[in-house]
Amino acid sequence: MNENHLHIVTLDVPYPADYGGVVDLFYKLQSLHKLGVKIHLHCFTKGREPQDELNKYCETVNYYQRKSNSSSFSLSTPLIVNSRVNQALISNLQKDNYPVLLEGIHCTYYLKTGQLNNRKVIVRLHNAEFTYYKQLAKHEGDIFKKIYYLYESRLLKKYERSIAGKATFLAVSKQDVALYQQEFKAADIHYLPVFLPYTSATGKEGKGNFCLYHGNLAINENEKAATWLLQHVFSKVQIPFVIAGKNPSKKLEDLAHLHQHTCIVANPSDKEMQDIIAKAHVHVLPSLNNTGIKLKLLNAIFNGRHCLVNKAGVEGSGLESFCHLARDAASFSRQIEELYTQPFTEQEVQQRQVLLQTIYNNEANARQLMTFLQ
């Protein structure tokens, strides 16, 4: 293992691991480093600072400024890709012949151009991006943003199809594996679970004292899910309900304060958020799209009690048996009332512990990743 050198190109600076998009990146770095892999890290950045912490796990770390949106607009290349075209990056990658791990479709421009031919290249799919952008468009109220998301989705579909046969792809959900096989006839695509910060399931036995929805509330689909819960579920169910997350809109804050039993916690620190998750009794996490993996759901499973989701939030994730399923507002309401009276048991904690040691075992998954680099 000690001979292994690996380039990793990340769509953002992967530390601090303080939002969903970088959690998998950072804990993957850590796990590969533990196996003795010599990592040459290349990070794109748009406002996130260089981090000394990354030097603990990497032989070399390079930072590249993302281009502005206006200078990255293209009729053929998606914005998330075009803003990460950088001559210094490809020059650095071409100095040797080490394998390359590209984190996200965002970082694949030089795979598309053929400048990484004759190299072992792996693409880590964080989402089926074209579907994700289509979903964002569906839930967007601002007409200009809606048009942008639809345009980007169309470009992404064409772009993802063009590279689907050019590398080994590792998806974060079985759902995305199936989608790539069906849509793009991708033959070399495999499921590799996300890398996580959790080493043990810490959900406390007994009862918590409120229901919780948490997530980055600046993302339109999360705001829409929280709004839906307030308007259609907790307007009828008189059980304490907390919404917690980054940058909620004024509209959502006002809505959360309409009822005495509902409230919102804006921009909690990581420590506060984990404390809120630990104290909740039912995690109510409907999702409006079914791509990728929901890191907020994994956080609730490993650090919280009961989890109530819809099909889109759990399909293809392997987490179905650890969650309660609801279809619509009436079934969410009914299950919340039932689960709120049910204590969380030691047996459920143990089942989640097994899940962490099997599917979400960082060391085993890092070893699995290395087999694709041979």
Measure the CA–CA gap between 339 and 305, rounded to whole angstroms.
10
pLDDT bucket at 1, cuts 50 / 70 / 90: very low
The vertex-265 CA angle with 342 and 216, nearest 5°, equals 95
Output the six-digit token pair for 354: 């097994």
**Where is pLDDT greater, at 308 or 21?**
308
What pLDDT score was predicted for residue 293?
75
Mean pLDDT value across residues 294-323: 90
Residue 270 has pLDDT above 50, yes or no: yes
What pLDDT score was predicted for residue 122?
98
* Domain 5-193+362-371 architecture: 3-Layer(aba) Sandwich (3.40)
Q: What is the pLDDT of residues 119-165, one digit of tens each?
A: 999 999 998 999 999 989 998 889 999 999 999 999 999 999 999 99
Measure the CA–CA gap between 357 and 350, rounded to whole angstroms.
11
Q: Which superfamily, per CATH, for 211-357?
A: Glycogen Phosphorylase B; (3.40.50.2000)
**CATH topology match: 5-193+362-371 vs 211-357:** yes
Q: What is the pLDDT of residues 199-256, one digit of tens each?
A: 899 999 999 999 999 999 998 889 999 999 999 999 999 999 999 999 999 999 999 9
Residue 2 has pLDDT above 50, yes or no: no
Q: What is the pLDDT of residues 68-110, one digit of tens each?
A: 888 888 888 999 999 999 999 999 999 999 999 999 999 999 9
DSSP-derived 3-state class of residue 36: coil
CA atoms in the 13 A half-sphere facing the CB of 145 = 11
Average pLDDT, the chain: 94
> Residue ranges per domain, the chain?
5-193+362-371, 211-357
Phi first, then psi: give them for residue 305, nearest 5 degrees: -105, -130
pLDDT bucket at 314, cuts 50 / 70 / 90: confident
Measure the CA–CA gap between 324 and 309, rounded to whole angstroms.
6
56-60, 283-287, 314-318, 351-355: least confident range: 314-318
- How many CB atoms within 10 Å of residue 157? 19
What pLDDT score was predicted for residue 18?
84
* Secondary structure string (H, E, C) spanning 153-197: HHHHHHHHHHHCCCCEEEECCHHHHHHHHHHHCCCCEEECCCCCC
What pLDDT score was predicted for residue 288?
83
Cis check: omega of the bond before 343, within 30 degrees of 0: no
Contact call for residues 50 and 13 (beta carbons, < 8 A) = yes
Residue 24 has pLDDT above 60, yes or no: yes
CA atoms in the 13 A half-sphere facing the CB of 313 = 27
Residue 314: which of 343, 273, 283 has the closest Cα?
283
